[in-house]
Amino acid sequence: MYKIEYAADLAESIKLLVVLAPMVAAKAQAGHFVVVRNGEKGERIPLTIAGYDRQKGTITLVVQSVGKSSSEICALQEGDALTDVLGPLGHATHIERVGTVLCVAGGVGVAPVYPIAKAFKEAGNRLISVIGARSKDLIFFQTEMKAVSDVVHYTTDDGSYGLHGFVTDAVKNIVEGGEKVDKVIAIGPLPMMKAVADLTRNYGISTVVSLNALMVDGTGMCGGCRVTVGGETKFSCVDGPDFDGHKVDFAELLRRQTRFSEEEKMAYGRYRKEEHKCRIR
């Protein structure tokens, strides 16, 4: 069991968990993820390591409830525990000094972006961040991102904070406003990563995306997480999760995300009914 040392709500249905996992913390680097399981009947789900403290032996996870498993994890409190935490998995993000790095985060994607931004900053790059969300109250990690960025831009879909629009609008403004960007890191929902990659392709700026394919083991054993990159089949868990955004077949990946939609919907529906009953009691 992996004890939750601290839990906090970051925004509506987004939770931060600090989990005791010393061996994972000891090896964790920006870009790594873990596979966690909650309960003996739980499924294995991948979550990015949003931070780690080697001394305390903890890792930070930021979870958004989108279905049954993530909702159950979001309901955990300080003192509870995760049944399994496996990691660190995947290749760490390749950090180098390139000049100016633009980190683009969509929604909960700011959690995985943060350690990467921090590492690029520490490697001596100028760092510009774009943080996009549906509305103001869904933005979190503002202080953290500010601390590692030279400039932070915000966008909201409803205009409640920062630029009224999408992250791509901000990226466009930045690049076309004359900023020489050498590398883009984009993490968030698939359509957002695709939109950013499509945009930066025109500018010829190298763009790294972190793919959230459906996973089971996270160790290269099942092939369920396969994606097509540059015409070749890759396993996102062991070959990624970072890939060249200009080469990813996003249409295929978007489609593969729906492999179990019906089952997921059914499980979530049942879960919400059960939860509702508990609340009434």
Partner 1 sequence: MSDKVRMREQSPEERIKNFNEVPYGYDEREALQEASRCLGCKKHPCTRGCPVEVNIPEFIARIKESDFIGAVEVIKRKNSLPAICGRVCPQENQCESYCVLGRKGEPVAIGRLERFAADYEREHRQTGMTAAPSSGSKTKVAVIGAGPAGLTAAADLALLGYEVVLFEALHAPGGVLRYGIPEFRLPKAILDEEVGYIRSLGVDIRYNMLVGATLSIDDLFADGYKAVFIGTGAGLPYFLGIPGENLNGVYSANEFLTRVNLMRAYRFPEYDTPVRIGRHVAVVGGGNVAMDAARTALRLGADKVSIVYRRAWEEMPARAEEKHHGREEGIDFKLLNNPVAILGDEKGWVKGMECVRMELGEPDESGRRRPVVIEGSEYVLDVDTVVVSIGQGPNPLLVQSTSGLETNKRGNITADPDTMATSIPGVYAGGDIVTGAATVIAAMGAGKIAAGNIDKYLKIKGL
Q: Which residues bind ligand FAD (CB under 6 A)?
A: 33, 45-48, 62-64, 66-71, 108, 111-112, 212-215, 241, 257, 264, 268
The residue within the footprint of partner 1, chosen from 6, 224, 246, 247 (CB under 8 A), is: 224
208-234 CB burial, b ≥16 within 10 A, e <16: bbbbbbbbbbbeeeeebbbbbbeeeeb
Phi/psi zone of residue 87: left (φ > 0), alpha (ψ -120 to 50 degrees), beta? Answer: left
Select the binding partner of residue 112 from ligand FAD, ligand FES, partner 1, none (C-beta < 5 to 8 A, by kind): ligand FAD
User: What are the structure tokens assigned to 218, written together?
Assistant: 């996270």
Nearest-5° Cα angle at 113, 16 to 153: 105
The residue within the footprint of partner 1, chosen from 252, 272, 273, 276 (CB under 8 A), is: 252
Nearer to ligand FES, 133 or 237 (CB): 237
* Least Cβ distance, residue 91 to ligand FES (angstroms): 13
Give the separation between CA 10 and CA 226, rounded to whole angstroms: 32
Nearest to 196 by CA among 186, 183, 210, 206: 186
* Least Cβ distance, residue 39 to ligand FES (angstroms): 20
Q: Tokens 């966008």 identify what position?
A: 155
Tell me how many residues contact partner 1 (CB under 8 A): 41
Task: Name, in order, each residue with C-beta under 8 angstroms of 265's C-beta and a sequence gap of 6 or more.
Answer: none
Q: Are 101 and 127 in contact (CB under 8 A)?
A: yes
User: Per CB under 8 A, does 24 bind partner 1?
Assistant: yes
Nearer to ligand FAD, 69 or 100 (CB): 69
Nearer to ligand FAD, 88 or 112 (CB): 112
* Least Cβ distance, residue 218 to ligand FES (angstroms): 5
Select the binding partner of residue 47 from ligand FAD, ligand FES, partner 1, none (C-beta < 5 to 8 A, by kind): ligand FAD
Distances (CA, A) of 127 to 57, 145, 151: 28, 10, 7
| Terminal Cα-to-Cα distance of the chain (whole angstroms) | 29
Q: Which residues bind ligand FES (CB under 6 A)?
A: 215-218, 220-225, 235, 237
Binding site for partner 1 (CB under 8 A): 23-24, 27, 37, 41-44, 68-69, 83-89, 216-217, 219-224, 226, 228, 233, 238, 252, 255-256, 258-260, 262-264, 266-267, 270
